[in-house]
Copies of this chain bind each other. A is one copy, B any other.
Amino acid sequence: MMENKDKEIFGGERVSIREALVEMKSLSEKIIDLAYAAIIFDSDDLANEVENIEEKLDRLLYRVRLTALMAGRDPQLAEQLLGILQVASAAEQIGDAAVSISRLLSTNVEYRPFIPFILKGGDEIIRALMVDESSDLVNRSIGGLEVEGETGARIIAIKRGNRWIFNVSDDTVIKPGDTLIVRGVEGGVEDLEAYCKGERRWGQ
């Protein structure tokens, strides 16, 4: 099955290897946010998700390498593949570094709260925002609201009761009591906070 699919790739559209690389790029960007968020919020759940994404990156790298090995002896194709392998392997290294950051949570460091405090600074900040039931965000989708367009802040994960939503998409609907983990410049995050608290009406 996999063999057939990967042969197709090199025959014509190269869909599968392209998809794998696009996914590795997205995951390598996302895993850094989640790793810093894990130590800022001292969250084992976020750290576990970092490990999950790292495993996904490993599997994708394996798939890209396997596909490359089956490419045969076409020199032009081999040159293309060299570049692809380099990017894929670097994306996987980014994942490893993110895991090093989030594993800080499992080391026996007594004064860990010092770190979150440090990392709240920087160009972009990461914050947890609770959605009040009076908020305009309630029962609306992230895409419908155009959260990132309106505020410049991006929702990287949502905590809902005891469970987490890591796979936040445009279709994700915000519920009262949700805790949004957001990343953005300070002003944007503050705007979103005012909407979450119901202090501001959406679009005003």
Contact = CB atoms under 8 A, between A and B. Distances in A.
Interface residues of A, number: 61
A10 B171 CA distance: 47
B28 A32 contact: yes
Given A93-B97, A151-B152, 4 more contacts: A25-B119, A83-B107, A84-B115, A94-B98
Interface of A: 14, 18, 21-23, 25-26, 28-30, 32-33, 35-36, 39, 76, 79-80, 82-84, 86-87, 89-91, 93-94, 96-98, 100-101, 103-104, 107, 109-112, 114-115, 118-119, 121-124, 146-152, 154, 184-185, 187-188, 191
When A and B form their complex, which 7 residue pairs have the shortest distance between CB atoms, in order from nearest?
A148-B152, A22-B121, A93-B97, A90-B100, A149-B152, A26-B122, A80-B111
